[in-house]
């Protein structure tokens, strides 16, 4: 029997690749994001290529009421969610702390920390009742180290690391698995979002080395989800071969 998984931020990058891979691997999917046109086209693609069912929820995760009301719309047969992939997230700007942009800080904190918390609260209550489930938090190498001008984004991902541990402790009595995945540089829309649509600046991030692609992270997530019942992968740090620290790359080489 297929499991039901909800993926936040399935309109792009890691969430999109994970949706595609999980659809081919025996999961029915609830896919979420703000860009509904992309969700609709992904639903159609999955319908044409796989046996998986897809249900779409179009909402902004920074708004608790919107998130709650979206989940309340789920038909009965979609309410039992076995897997939650907390992927929606973003970085905005790179500034020293004294030059920080308040709106950027708020958007990062509201999405990466508060949004993740809202949906986890709403979905984990059902997991607790059923005494089963798996939550995978997409964190980052930025949750393990801090780089110059990455202050608030890094802090938000450190919070995800801490929340992952907190969730694991709180949900331990119910047999619910909690994992985190910490990628290094993955070429997605992430840098375009960070640099507010500046494609040249975004492309520079990945210049001269072979970054991870979203499919690398999707495969890691699928591996985590398909371990036997007694095995939980707590945390995975996955980096491009050409990256050793957040800001340490081997560029201009065939890596």
Tell me the number of residues near ligand 8X3 by CB under 6 A. Answer: 7
> Residue from 86, 93, 246, 249 that binds ligand 8X3 (CB under 6 A)?
246
Report yes or no: 59 and 32 within 8 Å, Cβ to Cβ: yes
**Should residue 242 be labelled a site residue for ligand NDP when binding is judged by CB under 6 A?**
no
For residues 67 and 215, what is the distance between their CA atoms, to the nearest angstrom?
27
- Contact between 28 and ligand 8X3 per CB under 6 A: no
In the complex, the smallest distance separating the C-beta of residue 173 from ligand NDP, rounded to whole angstroms, is: 28
The site partner of 246 among ligand 8X3, ligand NDP, none (C-beta below 5 to 8 Å per kind) is ligand 8X3
- For 80-105, give one letter per residue: b (16+ CB within 10 A) or e: ebbbbbbbbbbbbbbeeeeeeeeebb
Residues 56-115 that bind ligand 8X3 (CB under 6 A): none
Residues with Cβ within 8 Å of 169's Cβ and at least 6 positions away in sequence, in order, are none
By beta-carbon proximity to ligand 8X3, the closer residue of 185 and 217 is 185
Residue 100 · residue 152 · CB < 8 Å: yes
- Contacts (Cβ under 8 Å, ≥6 apart) of 158: 142, 143, 144, 146
In the region spanning residues 130 to 169, those forming contacts with ligand 8X3, defined by CB under 6 A, are 140-142, 150, 153
Q: What does 60 bind: ligand 8X3, ligand NDP, none (CB cut-off 5 to 8 Å by kind)?
A: ligand NDP
Decide which of ligand NDP, ligand 8X3, none touches 9; Cβ closer than 5 to 8 Å per partner kind: ligand NDP
Residue 104, token pair as written in the block: 């950027």
Instruction: Using CB under 6 A, pick the residue from 188, 220, 243, 246 that binds ligand NDP.
Output: 188
User: Annotated catalytic, 153?
Assistant: yes
Q: Give φ, ψ of 198 to 5 degrees.
A: -80, 95
Position 149 contacts ligand NDP (CB under 6 A): no
Among residues 147, 153, 174, 206, the one annotated as catalytic is 153
CB 111 within 8 A of CB 67: no
DSSP 143: G
User: Residues binding ligand NDP: what is the number (CB under 6 A)?
Assistant: 28
- By the 8 A CB rule, do 67 and 118 touch? yes
Which residues bind to ligand NDP, rule: CB under 6 A?
8-15, 33-35, 60-62, 87-90, 111, 138, 140, 183, 185-186, 188-190, 193
Which residues bind to ligand 8X3, rule: CB under 6 A?
140-142, 150, 153, 185, 246
Residues carrying an active site annotation: 153
């Amino acid at each position: 029997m297929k499991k039901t998984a909800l993926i936040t931020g399935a309109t792009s990058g890691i969430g999109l690749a994970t949706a595609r891979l999980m659809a081919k691997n025996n999961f029915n999917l609830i896919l979420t994001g703000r860009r509904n046109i992309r969700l609709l086209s992904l639903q159609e693609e999955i319908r044409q290529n796989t046996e998986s069912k897809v249900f779409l929820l179009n909402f902004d995760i920074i708004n608790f009421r919107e998130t709650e009301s979206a989940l309340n719309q789920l038909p009965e047969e979609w309410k039992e969610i076995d897997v939650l992939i907390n992927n929606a997230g973003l970085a905005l700007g790179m500034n020293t702390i004294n030059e920080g942009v308040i709106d950027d800080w708020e958007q990062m904190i509201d999405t990466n920390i508060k949004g993740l918390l809202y949906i986890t609260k709403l979905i984990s209550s059902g997991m607790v009742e059923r005494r089963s489930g798996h939550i995978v938090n997409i964190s980052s190498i930025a949750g393990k180290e801090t780089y110059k001008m990455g202050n608030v984004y890094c802090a938000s991902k450190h919070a995800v690391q801490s929340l992952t541990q907190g969730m694991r402790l709180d949900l331990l009595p119910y047999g619910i698995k909690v994992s985190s995945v910490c990628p290094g540089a993955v070429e997605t829309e992430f840098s375009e979002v960070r640099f507010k649509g500046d494609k040249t600046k975004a492309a520079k991030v990945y210049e001269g080395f072979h970054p991870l692609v979203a499919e690398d992270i999707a495969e890691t997530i699928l591996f985590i989800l398909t371990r036997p019942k007694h095995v939980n992968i707590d945390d995975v740090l996955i980096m491009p071969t050409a990256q050793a620290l957040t800001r340490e790359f081997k560029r201009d080489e065939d890596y």
